[in-house]
Homo-oligomer: A and B are copies of this chain.
Amino acid sequence: MITVLAGGTGGAKFVQGVMRILPPEELTVIVNTGDDLTWWGLHVSPDLDSITYALAGILSRERGWGIEGDTFTCLERMRQLGAPAWFQLGDRDLATHLRRTQLLTVHTLTEATSEIASEMGVRARILPMSDDRVETRVLTAAGDLSFQEYFVRERYRVPVKGVRFVGAEQAQAAPGVVEAIRDAAAVLIAPSNPVTSIGPILSVPGIRAALCQTAVIAVSPIVGGAAVSGPAGELMKTQQLPVSIAGVAQAYEDFLDALIADERDRPHAAEGERLGVQVTFTNTIMDSDEAKAELARAAVSAIIPARAAPGSPARAARDGVVAGRAR
């Protein structure tokens, strides 16, 4: 059993790779819900949608979000009526949000997610990180924004001062999340933004602790000192993380065993190893189905060495730290 932590377009692409090399019954994906928003009165969960569409084989290749071949007739009409239209929902996509919103009147988000995935023929298990509301807020020069306001409406062009996860302290991990992490052969962290895609998942009490009990392999979203896409670099800086594979390793330092990084970062191998993490270099640019599968294979191949605790450098280094000082 493999568990993937995922969010954003990098997460969806990586999951597409994993599903090409693993039977769906062996895969659990734990998904960021910090970006969830109420849009036109509907509960929209951008990352749950992308992961579900990816696993259902209907994710738009062109856009990286929404459903392949979708139309935007309702959106255009909403625009004509003067409704906000900066967040784009396709006509097919709308059906997902209508279903979820209705299901949430009597079900938890975990149950609604499972029902919708099942309706789409998805056999892997998709879990939201929490059934409680944890909202990623991005403090910017233009005000305190929701993640989608920052990312979509402002196109992440406003300077960021900080990020917080409102509600995280009171939130509980969704049913099955801690077990899916603790009992997995390994947890793979998708090449998602460490701050706003994986960060919200880690903010939920109990999840970091569970990760410390499992072999964890992360795929770096940073290539050649910059994010492959999106604002990961800018956001890492706000967390005092270097925009490098070392920064990614540092974001996950309390539980990371191995890091999959891009060939282009091989010159920086020593930085990752200084953090006690085994680093594997490969092509991490997921520009084809085969590249996605190859990256997933590289991550899965890192499981055995990563599990070889306490002999692995990661475990040894961590255990040393744990023994040596409070963490």
A-to-B contact residues, CB < 8 Å: 40-42, 70-71, 73-74, 77-78, 80-83, 91-92, 94-96, 98-99, 101-102, 105, 116, 119-120
Contact = CB atoms under 8 A, between A and B. Distances in A.
Nearest to A100: B41
Given A71-B91, A95-B74, A81 B119 contact: yes
A71 B70 CA distance: 12
A95 B119 contact: no
Contact of A73 (B41, B73, B99, B116): B73
Contact of A99 (B83, B94, B96): B83
Identical copies in the complex: 2
A112 B71 CA distance: 27
Nearest to A78: B95
Mostly helix, strand, loop or mixed at chain A's interface? Answer: helix
Given A91-B91, A94-B94, A99 B78 contact: yes
A99 B81 contact: yes
Given A71-B71, A119-B82, A77 B102 contact: no
Contacts of A74: 74, 91-92, 94-95, 98
A74 B150 CA distance: 28
A176 to B, nearest CB: 23
Contacts of A78: 95, 98-99
A77 B92 contact: yes
Contacts of A116: 81
B98 A41 contact: yes
Contacts of A120: 81
Contacts of A95: 74, 77-78, 80-81, 83
A82 to B, nearest CB: 5
A41 B38 CA distance: 14
Nearest to A71: B73
Contacts of A41: 98, 101-102, 105
A142 to B, nearest CB: 25
A95 B42 CA distance: 12
A179 to B, nearest CB: 28
Nearest to A104: B41
A73 B94 CA distance: 10
12 contacts: A40-B99, A40-B102, A71-B71, A71-B73, A71-B91, A74-B74, A78-B98, A80-B95, A81-B119, A82-B119, A83-B98, A83-B99
A103 to B, nearest CB: 9
A102 B99 CA distance: 16
A81 to B, nearest CB: 4
A90 to B, nearest CB: 8
